[in-house]
Amino acid sequence: MSELNTAMIEKYRTSFLKEVEANVEEGEWVKMCMQCGVCSGSCPLGKHWAHPPQEIFMMIRAGKREEVLSSDSVWMCTSCYNCIVRCPRELPITHIMHGLAHYAKRLGLAPKNQPTAKFAQMMWNNLAKKGRVNELKLGLALYFMNGFGEGVKTALKMKDIGLGMLKTKRMNPMEALGGHAVKDLSGFHKMLKKAQELEDARIGKHGG
Amino acid sequence: MAKREYSFYPGCSSQKGASSSNYLVSVQAMCEELDIQLNEIPDWNCCSASIGYAGGGELPRLALSARNIALSEQHLPGQEIVATCAACWLSTRETQERLAHDKGLFAEANQALAEAGLKLKNETPIKHMAEVLIQDIGYEAIGAKVKKPLAGIKIAGYVGCQTNRPFGIAGESFENPLYLDKLVETLGGDSLPGYEKKVQCCGGALAFSEPEKSQEMIKGIIEAAYDHGADMIVTPCPVCQMNVEVYQDQINQTYGTQFKLPVVYYSTLMAVAFGRSAKDAALNGQVIPAKKLEELAAK
């Protein structure tokens, strides 16, 4: 268990809702949910969520901290925004799910080996490095994210798709040798570092 | 028609050798015909799309799009920002709204930008190319440019998610947007306004991390188009285009289907209808060839 997680448990002992409101992106909206369930019925991957959004909101209010933050569900959001446009209370549900996922990751509670959690982190690392996504490296990293043996199997399975993209010049093997990048890379990195520092300071070493 | 100029945010997938580089080629041909000049935002960066949230917290993510808006305001003052990618448009607009509504975040974003010598005013309108076409140019002016009507070609308008929600195109409904259908009709093609899956999610980035779950949804998107007798699907989104086009063989293997349905961009259709060559319309970028468009372009 991470130090930040222990500190947060200590600080918000009696109210997980307060913790979410203070530290999760758009978390202050959670209490507005009226439990109608439209979000759950509108989610394209809803049937795969152990706890659909409506349930997540009630679990937050019921103080089920561990269950919510270690849930696989918040990592199943495809960002289709169907829940947002249909919610009668206009809760920014998509953003709250993203916020919960990010907060869980920050505390070290995100489920291990959740494929989207891993892929999404790879995507961030990829873009943060050069300022632009290197699709080739991201694709290869994805294939090999569960080890070399699995990676070779996946790469073989994806071979025809890769060939199709190569033939149509929608994939470039030369991207392996560097690839696209922003010119002011130093300024870009300094900006991201500062943004991270400011955010860390807000959430605080021991809770915001 | 007077020349219109915009500040242009092409996004990572439109770069040379990237997955929607064909989109950019057809957009350029389309814009030439419509007297639109796209001025690329100098040194733009990735917006982190829809799954940046795992690694990037709120402020680092917002800083990414804030940098693009600031660069545009500095180098292309007074020009509206136009994005062709759904995720680029969404992230940039989301950033603009979030920072406009939260003074604290706005101040912090500018503190971060100052490290790169930039300053955000956050006063620039942010549009999707579809908005430029519909609102700034208009169907009538588009129709006037048609040299080769897409006669007899049945086209399912697949709008997808992020060009449609949460912002969408003014005057269109989230559940049944009709602008792609109207555009197809304007170009002389046969639209299929009853196409049920026009706003169904294709899985987005989760097509990579959750392929089985996503391909089940993609199957429905293609099947419904076939049910309506579609010759092809048209979409405004790079992720929709790729997901719906390139996994058809895998879906056929899993489900025993025989899908082979071309998926093109609105700009592909427009470039062909405006009389441009197959190359200018980037028909060579189709993994599943759009034969009917190739025939028309060759005429």
Instruction: Identify the pLDDT of residue B1.
Output: 53
CB contact under 8 A, A76 and B52: no
Question: Which two tokens mark B4?
Answer: 């219109």
Q: Please compute the mean of the pLDDT values over residues A11-36 and round it to a whole number.
A: 95
Count of A-B CB contacts under 8 Å:
215
Bridging pattern class, strands B154-157 and B232-235: parallel
Give residue-wise pLDDT tens across range B165-205.
999 999 999 999 999 999 999 999 999 999 999 999 999 99
Cβ within 8 Å of A, B 100-129: 108-109, 111-118
Nearest CB to A199; choose among B60, B161, B168:
B60
| B289 vs B221: CA distance, rounded Å | 18
Q: Cβ of B40 under 8 Å from any chain A Cβ?
A: no
Q: How many CA atoms lie within 13 A of B226 on its CB side?
A: 12
A116/B48 Cβ within 8 A: no
Largest CA distance in chain A: 59
Q: All domains of chain A, ordered by start, with CATH? A: 3-111 (1.10.1060), 115-197 (no CATH)
Instruction: Give the residue numbers spanning the domain of B227.
Output: 148-275
Contact A165, A173 (CB under 8 A): no
CATH of the domain at B123: 1.20.1050.140
Residue B247 phi/psi, 5-degree rounding, is -95, 10
Q: Is the pLDDT of residue A205 over 90?
A: no
pLDDT at site A122: 95
Distance CA B182, CA A189 (A): 44
State how far the Cα of A126 lies from the Cα of B205, in Å rounded to an integer. Answer: 15
Q: Give me the sign of the Cα torsion angle B40, B71, B86, A72.
A: positive
Residues B198 and B270 in one domain: yes
Number of domains in chain B: 2
Residues B159 and B270 in one domain: yes
In a domain, B137, yes or no: no
To which H or E segment does residue B223 belong?
A: helix B211-227
Residue B295 lies in a domain: no
| pLDDT tens track for B58-71 | 999 999 999 999 99
Q: pLDDT class for B47, splitting at 50, 70, 90?
A: very high
CB A83 within 8 A of CB A99: no
Residues B125, B152, single domain; the answer is: no
* Assigned domain for B140 exists: no
| Mean pLDDT, chain B, integer | 97
Sheet holding B154-157, edge to edge: B190-191, B154-157, B232-235, B263-265
CB atoms within 10 A of CB A145: 17
pLDDT confidence of A202, banded at 50, 70, 90? confident
* Residue A158 exposure: Cα atoms within 13 Å on the Cβ side: 17
Among the candidates B63, B94, B129, a domain finishes at: B129
pLDDT digits (tens, 9 = 90+) for B237-254: 999 999 999 999 999 999
β-partners of residue B232 are B155
Domain co-membership, B97 together with B168: no
| A112 touching chain B per CB within 8 A | no
Residue type, B245: E
* Helix or strand holding residue B256 (H, E): none
